[in-house]
Structure 1
Amino acid sequence: MTPERLPARPELCRTQAPGSRMARGLLALFGWRLAFAGFPARQGVILVYPHTSNWDFPLGVLTKWATGVRAHYWGKDSLFRIPLLGRWMRWIGGIPVDRANRSGVVASTAEQLRQARERGEDWWLAVAPEGTRALGTGWRSGAYQVAVQARAPIALVSFDFPSRTIRVQDFMQPCGNVEADFAFFREVFKDMRGYRPELASPIRLKGPKDERSDLEAP
Protein backbone atom coordinates (compact mmCIF):
# COMPACT_ATOMS: atom_id res chain seq x y z
CA MET A 1 0.00 0.00 0.00
CA THR A 2 1.21 3.48 -0.84
CA PRO A 3 -0.19 6.96 -0.18
CA GLU A 4 -1.79 8.82 -3.07
CA ARG A 5 -0.75 12.35 -4.00
CA LEU A 6 -3.83 14.53 -4.47
CA PRO A 7 -4.18 17.63 -6.64
CA ALA A 8 -5.52 20.94 -5.40
CA ARG A 9 -9.06 21.66 -6.52
CA PRO A 10 -9.33 25.44 -6.98
CA GLU A 11 -13.06 25.16 -7.68
CA LEU A 12 -13.63 24.21 -4.03
CA CYS A 13 -12.56 27.70 -2.99
CA ARG A 14 -15.89 28.92 -4.30
CA THR A 15 -17.70 26.82 -1.68
CA GLN A 16 -15.57 28.20 1.14
CA ALA A 17 -15.28 31.66 2.63
CA PRO A 18 -13.37 33.87 0.17
CA GLY A 19 -10.57 34.59 2.61
CA SER A 20 -9.58 37.87 4.19
CA ARG A 21 -7.87 40.48 2.02
CA MET A 22 -6.66 42.10 5.24
CA ALA A 23 -4.96 38.86 6.34
CA ARG A 24 -3.31 38.49 2.93
CA GLY A 25 -2.20 42.10 3.14
CA LEU A 26 -0.70 41.61 6.60
CA LEU A 27 1.24 38.56 5.41
CA ALA A 28 2.57 40.56 2.47
CA LEU A 29 3.41 43.49 4.73
CA PHE A 30 5.61 41.22 6.85
CA GLY A 31 7.26 39.81 3.72
CA TRP A 32 5.44 36.46 3.54
CA ARG A 33 4.23 34.84 0.33
CA LEU A 34 1.25 32.46 0.42
CA ALA A 35 1.56 29.58 -2.08
CA PHE A 36 -2.00 28.28 -2.22
CA ALA A 37 -4.42 27.32 -5.00
CA GLY A 38 -7.10 25.40 -3.11
CA PHE A 39 -7.60 22.22 -1.11
CA PRO A 40 -8.20 18.71 -2.48
CA ALA A 41 -11.45 18.21 -0.53
CA ARG A 42 -13.83 19.99 1.81
CA GLN A 43 -12.70 18.02 4.87
CA GLY A 44 -9.37 16.72 6.07
CA VAL A 45 -6.36 17.10 8.35
CA ILE A 46 -3.67 19.78 8.07
CA LEU A 47 -0.20 18.85 9.38
CA VAL A 48 2.03 21.87 9.99
CA TYR A 49 5.79 21.24 10.12
CA PRO A 50 8.26 22.27 11.40
CA HIS A 51 7.02 23.93 14.60
CA THR A 52 9.98 25.66 16.25
CA SER A 53 8.79 29.13 17.25
CA ASN A 54 6.01 31.17 18.84
CA TRP A 55 5.72 32.91 15.45
CA ASP A 56 4.08 29.78 14.01
CA PHE A 57 0.75 30.36 15.77
CA PRO A 58 0.06 33.92 14.47
CA LEU A 59 1.23 32.83 11.02
CA GLY A 60 -1.19 29.92 11.20
CA VAL A 61 -4.12 32.15 12.21
CA LEU A 62 -3.35 34.61 9.39
CA THR A 63 -3.08 31.70 6.93
CA LYS A 64 -6.46 30.37 8.08
CA TRP A 65 -8.07 33.77 7.53
CA ALA A 66 -6.21 34.42 4.26
CA THR A 67 -7.29 31.12 2.68
CA GLY A 68 -10.81 31.12 4.12
CA VAL A 69 -10.49 27.48 5.22
CA ARG A 70 -12.73 26.49 8.13
CA ALA A 71 -9.92 25.01 10.21
CA HIS A 72 -10.06 23.85 13.82
CA TYR A 73 -7.17 23.03 16.12
CA TRP A 74 -6.53 21.22 19.39
CA GLY A 75 -5.49 23.15 22.49
CA LYS A 76 -4.94 22.43 26.19
CA ASP A 77 -8.30 22.37 27.93
CA SER A 78 -6.91 24.51 30.79
CA LEU A 79 -6.43 27.45 28.40
CA PHE A 80 -10.09 27.37 27.40
CA ARG A 81 -11.11 27.92 31.02
CA ILE A 82 -9.42 31.35 31.10
CA PRO A 83 -12.03 34.11 30.64
CA LEU A 84 -11.87 35.93 27.29
CA LEU A 85 -8.87 33.87 26.13
CA GLY A 86 -10.93 30.68 26.07
CA ARG A 87 -13.77 32.41 24.22
CA TRP A 88 -11.32 33.82 21.65
CA MET A 89 -9.66 30.42 21.17
CA ARG A 90 -13.04 28.81 20.45
CA TRP A 91 -13.91 31.66 18.08
CA ILE A 92 -10.85 30.92 15.93
CA GLY A 93 -11.62 27.20 15.87
CA GLY A 94 -10.05 25.80 19.03
CA ILE A 95 -11.09 22.41 20.41
CA PRO A 96 -10.24 21.78 24.11
CA VAL A 97 -8.20 18.62 24.70
CA ASP A 98 -7.82 16.70 27.95
CA ARG A 99 -4.19 15.58 27.73
CA ALA A 100 -4.95 12.50 29.86
CA ASN A 101 -7.62 11.25 27.42
CA ARG A 102 -6.24 11.86 23.93
CA SER A 103 -7.55 8.58 22.51
CA GLY A 104 -11.10 9.80 23.05
CA VAL A 105 -10.29 13.05 21.26
CA VAL A 106 -8.96 11.18 18.21
CA ALA A 107 -12.11 9.08 17.89
CA SER A 108 -14.48 12.02 18.41
CA THR A 109 -12.60 14.25 15.96
CA ALA A 110 -12.59 11.51 13.32
CA GLU A 111 -16.35 11.22 13.80
CA GLN A 112 -16.75 14.99 13.40
CA LEU A 113 -14.89 14.76 10.10
CA ARG A 114 -17.09 11.91 8.88
CA GLN A 115 -20.25 13.78 9.85
CA ALA A 116 -19.06 16.94 8.09
CA ARG A 117 -18.44 14.88 4.96
CA GLU A 118 -21.94 13.41 5.12
CA ARG A 119 -23.41 16.92 5.46
CA GLY A 120 -21.18 18.34 2.74
CA GLU A 121 -19.67 20.91 5.12
CA ASP A 122 -16.15 22.34 5.17
CA TRP A 123 -14.21 21.04 8.21
CA TRP A 124 -10.43 20.76 8.59
CA LEU A 125 -8.30 19.97 11.63
CA ALA A 126 -4.95 21.79 11.77
CA VAL A 127 -2.23 20.35 14.04
CA ALA A 128 1.51 20.79 14.56
CA PRO A 129 2.25 17.06 15.08
CA GLU A 130 5.49 17.69 16.98
CA GLY A 131 3.30 19.05 19.78
CA THR A 132 6.08 21.30 21.09
CA ARG A 133 8.50 23.99 19.93
CA ALA A 134 11.38 22.13 21.61
CA LEU A 135 13.40 19.39 19.93
CA GLY A 136 11.53 16.13 20.38
CA THR A 137 11.96 12.49 19.43
CA GLY A 138 9.25 12.53 16.76
CA TRP A 139 5.60 13.28 16.03
CA ARG A 140 2.57 12.60 18.16
CA SER A 141 0.22 10.17 16.46
CA GLY A 142 -3.18 11.79 17.11
CA ALA A 143 -3.74 13.94 14.01
CA TYR A 144 -2.39 11.23 11.69
CA GLN A 145 -4.74 8.69 13.28
CA VAL A 146 -7.69 11.07 12.79
CA ALA A 147 -6.98 11.15 9.06
CA VAL A 148 -6.58 7.37 8.84
CA GLN A 149 -9.70 6.62 10.88
CA ALA A 150 -11.82 9.14 8.98
CA ARG A 151 -10.26 8.19 5.62
CA ALA A 152 -9.63 11.88 5.11
CA PRO A 153 -6.94 13.60 3.02
CA ILE A 154 -3.94 15.30 4.59
CA ALA A 155 -2.63 18.75 3.66
CA LEU A 156 1.08 19.24 4.42
CA VAL A 157 1.75 22.88 5.32
CA SER A 158 5.06 24.63 6.02
CA PHE A 159 6.15 28.06 7.18
CA ASP A 160 9.54 28.18 5.43
CA PHE A 161 11.40 31.04 7.10
CA PRO A 162 14.43 31.31 4.74
CA SER A 163 12.15 31.95 1.74
CA ARG A 164 9.33 33.46 3.87
CA THR A 165 6.87 31.23 2.06
CA ILE A 166 3.73 29.67 3.51
CA ARG A 167 3.43 26.51 1.45
CA VAL A 168 -0.06 24.99 1.17
CA GLN A 169 0.53 22.91 -1.95
CA ASP A 170 1.09 19.27 -1.01
CA PHE A 171 -1.84 16.94 -0.40
CA MET A 172 -2.10 13.19 0.03
CA GLN A 173 -4.49 10.39 0.88
CA PRO A 174 -2.81 8.30 3.60
CA CYS A 175 -2.81 4.57 3.08
CA GLY A 176 -2.51 3.70 6.78
CA ASN A 177 0.93 2.15 6.35
CA VAL A 178 3.01 4.25 8.73
CA GLU A 179 6.33 3.66 6.96
CA ALA A 180 4.93 4.56 3.53
CA ASP A 181 2.96 7.58 4.73
CA PHE A 182 5.88 8.99 6.74
CA ALA A 183 8.27 8.49 3.84
CA PHE A 184 5.91 10.74 1.87
CA PHE A 185 5.94 13.33 4.68
CA ARG A 186 9.75 13.31 4.82
CA GLU A 187 10.01 13.84 1.07
CA VAL A 188 7.65 16.84 1.10
CA PHE A 189 9.17 18.50 4.17
CA LYS A 190 12.85 17.75 3.55
CA ASP A 191 13.77 21.29 2.43
CA MET A 192 11.45 23.25 4.75
CA ARG A 193 13.13 25.25 7.52
CA GLY A 194 11.47 26.75 10.57
CA TYR A 195 12.56 29.82 12.51
CA ARG A 196 14.92 27.64 14.54
CA PRO A 197 15.68 24.66 12.28
CA GLU A 198 17.82 22.96 14.90
CA LEU A 199 14.65 22.37 16.95
CA ALA A 200 12.73 20.51 14.23
CA SER A 201 11.88 17.02 15.46
CA PRO A 202 12.51 14.01 13.19
CA ILE A 203 9.58 12.99 11.01
CA ARG A 204 8.63 9.70 12.64
CA LEU A 205 6.05 8.60 15.17
CA LYS A 206 7.01 8.76 18.81
CA GLY A 207 7.12 5.47 20.66
CA PRO A 208 4.57 4.59 23.38
CA LYS A 209 7.05 5.52 26.11
CA ASP A 210 7.55 8.99 24.59
CA GLU A 211 3.78 9.50 24.31
CA ARG A 212 3.37 8.64 28.00
CA SER A 213 6.12 11.12 28.92
CA ASP A 214 4.22 13.83 27.06
CA LEU A 215 1.11 13.15 29.14
CA GLU A 216 3.09 13.37 32.38
CA ALA A 217 4.84 16.64 31.46
CA PRO A 218 3.51 19.82 33.11
Structure 2
Amino acid sequence: MQRTIFDSPILRHILPGLGRLMLRIFGWKIEGEFPDLPKYILIGAPHTSNWDFPVGIAICFARQQKVYWMGKHTLFWGPLGPIARWLGGIPVDRRKSNSLVEQMVHVYGEHERLVVAIPPEGTRKKVEKWKTGFYYIALGSQLPIVLGFIDFGRKVGGCGEVFYPTGDIEADMAKIRAFYAPIKGKNPENQ
Protein backbone atom coordinates (compact mmCIF):
# COMPACT_ATOMS: atom_id res chain seq x y z
CA MET A 1 0.00 0.00 0.00
CA GLN A 2 1.10 3.57 -0.52
CA ARG A 3 2.55 5.73 2.24
CA THR A 4 0.01 7.46 4.44
CA ILE A 5 -0.02 10.20 7.02
CA PHE A 6 1.00 7.87 9.83
CA ASP A 7 4.24 6.99 8.04
CA SER A 8 5.56 10.45 8.96
CA PRO A 9 7.06 10.49 12.48
CA ILE A 10 6.20 14.17 12.96
CA LEU A 11 2.56 13.82 11.88
CA ARG A 12 2.18 10.60 13.88
CA HIS A 13 2.59 12.77 16.99
CA ILE A 14 0.59 15.81 15.85
CA LEU A 15 -2.47 14.16 14.28
CA PRO A 16 -3.90 12.47 17.40
CA GLY A 17 -4.16 15.82 19.17
CA LEU A 18 -5.59 17.45 16.05
CA GLY A 19 -8.20 14.67 15.74
CA ARG A 20 -9.23 15.00 19.40
CA LEU A 21 -9.40 18.80 19.07
CA MET A 22 -11.62 18.62 15.97
CA LEU A 23 -13.98 16.16 17.64
CA ARG A 24 -14.16 18.31 20.78
CA ILE A 25 -14.85 21.50 18.80
CA PHE A 26 -17.77 19.87 17.00
CA GLY A 27 -19.08 18.07 20.08
CA TRP A 28 -18.23 14.49 19.06
CA LYS A 29 -17.18 11.61 21.31
CA ILE A 30 -15.55 8.25 20.57
CA GLU A 31 -17.04 4.98 21.83
CA GLY A 32 -15.32 1.63 21.76
CA GLU A 33 -11.79 0.77 20.77
CA PHE A 34 -10.24 -0.26 17.51
CA PRO A 35 -9.35 -3.93 18.03
CA ASP A 36 -5.73 -4.90 18.39
CA LEU A 37 -5.79 -7.14 15.33
CA PRO A 38 -3.33 -6.99 12.44
CA LYS A 39 -5.98 -7.25 9.69
CA TYR A 40 -9.72 -6.74 9.46
CA ILE A 41 -12.50 -5.19 7.43
CA LEU A 42 -13.92 -2.04 9.05
CA ILE A 43 -17.50 -1.32 8.08
CA GLY A 44 -18.14 2.42 7.79
CA ALA A 45 -21.88 2.88 8.32
CA PRO A 46 -24.21 4.49 7.96
CA HIS A 47 -22.81 6.42 5.00
CA THR A 48 -25.30 9.19 4.18
CA SER A 49 -23.21 12.36 3.87
CA ASN A 50 -19.85 13.79 2.85
CA TRP A 51 -19.46 14.71 6.55
CA ASP A 52 -18.91 11.02 7.37
CA PHE A 53 -15.38 11.31 5.98
CA PRO A 54 -13.98 14.14 8.15
CA VAL A 55 -15.60 12.71 11.27
CA GLY A 56 -14.20 9.26 10.48
CA ILE A 57 -10.74 10.65 9.74
CA ALA A 58 -10.76 12.64 13.00
CA ILE A 59 -11.65 9.45 14.91
CA CYS A 60 -8.82 7.56 13.21
CA PHE A 61 -6.39 10.41 13.93
CA ALA A 62 -7.46 10.59 17.59
CA ARG A 63 -6.97 6.83 18.04
CA GLN A 64 -3.76 6.73 15.95
CA GLN A 65 -5.26 4.19 13.57
CA LYS A 66 -3.89 3.65 10.08
CA VAL A 67 -7.05 2.88 8.14
CA TYR A 68 -7.28 2.70 4.38
CA TRP A 69 -10.55 3.42 2.59
CA MET A 70 -11.99 2.84 -0.84
CA GLY A 71 -13.41 5.77 -2.77
CA LYS A 72 -14.82 6.58 -6.17
CA HIS A 73 -11.97 6.85 -8.68
CA THR A 74 -12.88 10.44 -9.56
CA LEU A 75 -11.85 11.54 -6.04
CA PHE A 76 -8.27 10.74 -7.02
CA TRP A 77 -8.06 12.99 -10.10
CA GLY A 78 -6.41 16.38 -10.13
CA PRO A 79 -4.76 18.10 -7.18
CA LEU A 80 -6.86 16.22 -4.58
CA GLY A 81 -5.59 12.83 -5.81
CA PRO A 82 -2.28 12.82 -3.93
CA ILE A 83 -4.00 14.10 -0.78
CA ALA A 84 -6.67 11.38 -0.97
CA ARG A 85 -4.01 8.69 -1.41
CA TRP A 86 -1.94 10.17 1.42
CA LEU A 87 -5.01 9.95 3.66
CA GLY A 88 -5.19 6.21 2.87
CA GLY A 89 -7.52 6.28 -0.14
CA ILE A 90 -7.73 3.42 -2.62
CA PRO A 91 -9.42 4.39 -5.92
CA VAL A 92 -12.23 2.14 -7.15
CA ASP A 93 -13.64 2.44 -10.67
CA ARG A 94 -17.24 1.27 -10.39
CA ARG A 95 -17.78 1.64 -14.16
CA LYS A 96 -15.66 -1.45 -14.82
CA SER A 97 -16.88 -4.91 -14.00
CA ASN A 98 -13.83 -6.23 -12.25
CA SER A 99 -13.68 -8.53 -9.29
CA LEU A 100 -13.00 -6.09 -6.52
CA VAL A 101 -13.59 -8.85 -3.96
CA GLU A 102 -10.89 -11.06 -5.49
CA GLN A 103 -8.51 -8.12 -5.77
CA MET A 104 -8.98 -7.16 -2.12
CA VAL A 105 -8.60 -10.78 -0.95
CA HIS A 106 -5.28 -10.83 -2.83
CA VAL A 107 -4.21 -7.47 -1.31
CA TYR A 108 -5.04 -8.68 2.21
CA GLY A 109 -3.00 -11.84 1.53
CA GLU A 110 0.06 -9.72 0.64
CA HIS A 111 0.07 -7.63 3.83
CA GLU A 112 0.82 -8.49 7.43
CA ARG A 113 -1.16 -5.48 8.70
CA LEU A 114 -4.09 -3.92 6.87
CA VAL A 115 -7.39 -2.32 7.81
CA VAL A 116 -9.71 -1.11 5.06
CA ALA A 117 -12.89 0.84 5.82
CA ILE A 118 -15.72 -0.06 3.46
CA PRO A 119 -19.16 1.60 3.45
CA PRO A 120 -21.60 -1.24 2.71
CA GLU A 121 -24.08 1.13 1.07
CA GLY A 122 -21.45 1.94 -1.54
CA THR A 123 -22.88 5.47 -1.89
CA ARG A 124 -24.29 8.33 0.16
CA LYS A 125 -27.65 7.96 -1.60
CA LYS A 126 -30.50 5.78 -0.36
CA VAL A 127 -30.14 2.12 -1.33
CA GLU A 128 -32.60 -0.72 -0.88
CA LYS A 129 -29.94 -3.10 0.38
CA TRP A 130 -26.29 -3.10 1.27
CA LYS A 131 -23.60 -4.32 -1.10
CA THR A 132 -22.06 -7.53 0.20
CA GLY A 133 -18.50 -7.14 -1.09
CA PHE A 134 -17.15 -6.36 2.39
CA TYR A 135 -18.62 -9.66 3.62
CA TYR A 136 -17.09 -11.72 0.84
CA ILE A 137 -13.72 -10.00 1.22
CA ALA A 138 -13.76 -10.94 4.92
CA LEU A 139 -14.90 -14.49 4.17
CA GLY A 140 -12.33 -14.99 1.39
CA SER A 141 -9.53 -13.54 3.51
CA GLN A 142 -10.70 -15.33 6.67
CA LEU A 143 -10.82 -12.01 8.47
CA PRO A 144 -13.17 -10.47 11.02
CA ILE A 145 -15.47 -7.56 10.30
CA VAL A 146 -15.35 -4.68 12.78
CA LEU A 147 -18.60 -2.76 13.08
CA GLY A 148 -17.49 0.87 12.81
CA PHE A 149 -20.13 3.58 13.11
CA ILE A 150 -20.76 7.30 12.97
CA ASP A 151 -23.96 8.21 14.82
CA PHE A 152 -25.01 11.78 14.06
CA GLY A 153 -28.01 11.40 16.37
CA ARG A 154 -25.77 11.11 19.44
CA LYS A 155 -22.60 12.65 17.91
CA VAL A 156 -20.67 9.50 18.70
CA GLY A 157 -18.44 7.41 16.47
CA GLY A 158 -16.15 4.48 16.91
CA CYS A 159 -16.06 0.72 16.84
CA GLY A 160 -18.60 -1.81 18.00
CA GLU A 161 -18.14 -5.53 18.10
CA VAL A 162 -15.75 -7.70 16.14
CA PHE A 163 -17.86 -9.98 13.95
CA TYR A 164 -16.60 -13.23 12.43
CA PRO A 165 -18.53 -14.22 9.30
CA THR A 166 -19.90 -17.76 9.36
CA GLY A 167 -20.65 -18.15 5.66
CA ASP A 168 -24.42 -17.91 6.29
CA ILE A 169 -24.76 -14.46 4.73
CA GLU A 170 -28.47 -14.04 5.47
CA ALA A 171 -28.09 -14.76 9.19
CA ASP A 172 -24.85 -12.78 9.46
CA MET A 173 -26.23 -9.74 7.63
CA ALA A 174 -29.32 -9.77 9.87
CA LYS A 175 -27.05 -9.60 12.95
CA ILE A 176 -24.92 -6.85 11.45
CA ARG A 177 -27.94 -4.79 10.39
CA ALA A 178 -29.46 -5.19 13.87
CA PHE A 179 -26.33 -3.53 15.32
CA TYR A 180 -26.81 -0.54 12.99
CA ALA A 181 -30.59 -0.22 13.43
CA PRO A 182 -30.46 2.45 16.20
CA ILE A 183 -27.60 4.41 14.61
CA LYS A 184 -28.54 7.57 12.71
CA GLY A 185 -26.67 8.98 9.74
CA LYS A 186 -26.46 12.70 9.05
CA ASN A 187 -29.20 12.24 6.43
CA PRO A 188 -31.29 9.42 7.95
CA GLU A 189 -33.67 9.47 4.99
CA ASN A 190 -30.79 7.97 2.96
CA GLN A 191 -30.32 4.98 5.26
TM over 0.5, shorter chain: yes
Residue 67 of structure 1 aligns with which residue?
Answer: 63
Asked if 1:155 is matched to 2:146, the reply is: yes
Residue 43 of structure 2 aligns with which residue?
Answer: 47
Letter in 1 for 2:102: A
Residue 96 of structure 1 aligns with which residue?
Answer: 91
In 1, Cα distance between equivalents of 2:81 and 2:29:
30
| Pairing 1:102-141 to 2, within 5 Å after superposition | 103-117=98-112, 122-141=113-132
Query: Shift of residue 40 of structure 1?
Result: 4.7
In 2, Cα distance between equivalents of 1:21 and 1:141:
35
Tell me the C-alpha RMSD between the 2 structures.
1.8
Letter in 1 for 2:58: L
| Contact residue 102 and residue 142 of structure 1 kept, 8 A | no
In 1, Cα distance between equivalents of 2:95 and 2:135:
18
Query: Shift of residue 81 of structure 1?
Result: 2.6
Any gaps of 5 or more consecutive residues in structure 2? 1-11
Residue 20 of structure 1 aligns with which residue?
Answer: 16
In 2, Cα distance between equivalents of 1:48 and 1:102:
23
The match for 1:58 among 54, 57, 67 is 54
Residue 34 of structure 1 aligns with which residue?
Answer: 30
Normalising by structure 2, we get a TM-score of 0.86
Asked if 1:144 is matched to 2:139, the reply is: no
Letter in 2 for 1:94: G
- Identity %, equivalent residues: 32
Residue 176 of structure 1 aligns with which residue?
Answer: 167
| Contact residue 40 and residue 171 of structure 1 kept, 8 A | no
User: Given the superposition, is the C-alpha separation of residues 20 and 76 from structure 1 closer, same or farther in structure 2, using an over 3 Å criterion?
Assistant: same
Structure 1 residue ranges, 4+ long, deviating more than 6 angstroms after superposition: none
In 2, Cα distance between equivalents of 1:103 and 1:148:
18
User: Given the superposition, is the C-alpha separation of residues 78 and 196 from structure 1 closer, same or farther in structure 2, using an over 3 Å criterion?
Assistant: closer
Any gaps of 5 or more consecutive residues in structure 1? 1-16, 201-218
- SS of the residue corresponding to residue 99 of structure 1 reads coil
Query: Shift of residue 104 of structure 1?
Result: 2.8
In 2, Cα distance between equivalents of 1:172 and 1:103:
27
For these two proteins, the number of residue pairs brought into alignment is 179
